[in-house]
Amino acid sequence: MAHETKHAHRKDEHLALAEHFYNAVQRNDFDQLHLIFRNLPELGVQDVSLETTIFDQKIAAPIYINAMTGGSSRTGAINEKLAQIAADLRIPMAVGSESIILSEPESLETFSVVRKVNPTGVIFANIGAGKDLAAAKQVVAAVAANALQVHLNVLQEIVMPEGDRDFHWAEMIREYQHLDVPIIAKEVGFGMSEMTISQLEQLGIRYIDLGGAGGTNFVQIENARRQNHDMAYLAEQGLSTVKSLLESQPFQRDQHLTFFASGGVRQPLDIVKAWHLGAKYVGISRTILHLLLHHTVSETETILTAWLEQLRLLLVAFGVRTPAELPQVEHYFDQELYLFQQQRQS
Ligand code: FNR
């Protein structure tokens, strides 16, 4: 899988910088949301189930390894390991942006390896929103994908020195409806507002990954790759995953849209909180990347299997049998989050 070009080098830089800025104890908006435990749950762990389906396939829990990488030799090897974990845990996985295979077909193997390792699991292809329908078909085929993530990453692009400068994306997103796999419109860590969700709905999108702030920060990462004209002042921009989920709530009621939440998930309690706010599936990127860079595949699987057990225990403590019942749990917000909600509802 030897593949080293300037484009491929960027993939290595993203990986290294995501790890460089990783901070396991970084506070984020999940800390502003408090769920209320039950003292008499009248449940045992045997009553609880995480098993569910996605795009008509069974999975062990509504969580997934979110898009990160592929394109270089090093990132191909990481994809191979992530695919092994996804297969063994029976959870979905997304590959990173596959645009590189359009200009550098030799890099294809760094993505297709994921399907080789995990022949029957759920895999999401990934592409930037500006690419045409033929390109989208190609990246779906490369991993025999069950769905295509289309990333909307304006803030990342504007800070990326070699990033896009033209953002006429809507028509292309409408075109993607001609594909024979579902489309998931996805942010990369800056979240989505009610207005964006409404626009996507009007474009025919039914699956949305809110990709909020609170974890991987692509302003920080791309700014570190700039030689000059610092743009770090944008690092605090974007909506957190928690705030994006609040923005999505008016749309959750009509059952028309399915929300995926990702961004800043550090441990099982964050997953439970995202399910509580209405996410059907919760994605994790850098926390799993960090585990994998410091442990073997088998050790990482042991840690994530313990997470699944902790998720079941947390559900018991909150008095619910499935993740889908979590919205019934009572909660309260810290002041800043409360004020956000009041302002946005008025
Ligand atoms: C990403 N992410 C990403 N997203 C995407 O749609 N296409 C991509 O190519 C990438 N590349 C990428 C590389 C690396 C190293 C990381 C850590 C992340 C974004 C990712 O899918 C997710 O939306 C954000 O990282 C937020 O989640 P975490 O990292 O806070 O869990």
Per residue in 185-202, pLDDT tens? 999 999 999 999 999 999
CA 225 to ligand 1 center in whole angstroms: 16
Residues 272 and 318 sit within 8 Å (Cβ to Cβ):
yes
Q: What whole-number distance in Å separates Cα of residue 97 and Cα of residue 143?
A: 12
How far separated are the first and last CA of the chain, in Å rounded?
54
- Tokens 């039950």: give the residue: 38
Whether residue 238 has its Cβ less than 6 Å from ligand 1: no
Among 285, 286, 289, 304, which residue has the most ligand 1 atoms within 8 Å of its CB, making it the best to mutate?
Answer: 285
Q: HEC string of 160-229?
A: CCCCCCCCCCHHHHHHHHHCCCCEEEECCCCCCCHHHHHHHHHCCCCEEECCCECCCCHHHHHHHHCCCC
> Comparing C-alpha atoms, which of 172, 113, 166, 167 is closest to residue 144?
113
Q: Give the pLDDT confidence score for residue 2 in this predicted structure.
A: 61
Can you tell me the distance from the alpha carbon of 254 to that of 30, in angstroms, rounded to the nearest whole number? 25
Q: Tell me how far the alpha carbon of residue 76 lies from the centroid of ligand 1, in angstroms.
A: 15
* Ligand 1 and 96: CB distance under 6 A: yes
Is the predicted pLDDT of residue 270 greater than 80, yes or no?
Answer: yes
* Cβ–ligand 1 contact at 75 (below 6 Å): no
The answer to whether the CB of 329 is under 6 A from ligand 1 is no
Residue 1 pLDDT? 58
286 C-beta closer than 6 A to ligand 1: yes
pLDDT score for 255: 79
pLDDT tens digits along 320-339: 999 999 999 999 999 999 99
- The whole-model pTM stands at 0.98
Ligand 1 binding pocket includes 138 (Cβ within 6 Å): no
Question: Is the model's pLDDT at 258 over the cut of 90?
Answer: yes
Ligand 1 atom with least separation from CA of 97: 9
Cα–ligand 1 centroid distance for 177 (angstroms): 24
> Per-residue pLDDT tens for 150-164?
999 999 999 999 999
Q: Whose CA is nearest to atom 27 of ligand 1?
A: 263
Distance of CA 63 from the midpoint of ligand 1 (Å)? 15
| Encoded amino acid at 206, one letter | R
What distance in angstroms lies between residue 252's CA and the mean position of ligand 1's atoms?
24
Mutate to test the pocket of ligand 1, among 216, 259, 267 (most ligand atoms within 8 A of CB): 216
Give me ligand 1 centre to Cα 113, in Å.
Answer: 19
Q: Mean pLDDT across the stretch 125-131?
A: 96
Geometric angle at alpha carbon 298, from 297 and 304, rounded to 5° = 90
Q: How far is CA 41 from CA 36, 148, 206, in A?
A: 11, 39, 35
Flag whether pLDDT at 236 surpasses 70: yes
Residue 166 pLDDT greater than 70, yes or no: yes
Helix (H, G, I), strand (E, B) or coil at 124: strand
Atom number in ligand 1 closest to CA 288: 31
pLDDT at 142 over 70: yes
Residue 226 CB neighbour total at 10 angstroms: 13
**What average pLDDT is seen over the chain?**
96
Half-sphere exposure of 122 (CA within 13 A, CB side): 25
Q: Whose CA is nearest to atom 12 of ligand 1?
A: 68
Q: What's phi and psi for 273, nearest 5 deg?
A: -65, -40
Query: What are φ and ψ of residue 264, in 5° steps?
Result: 80, 15
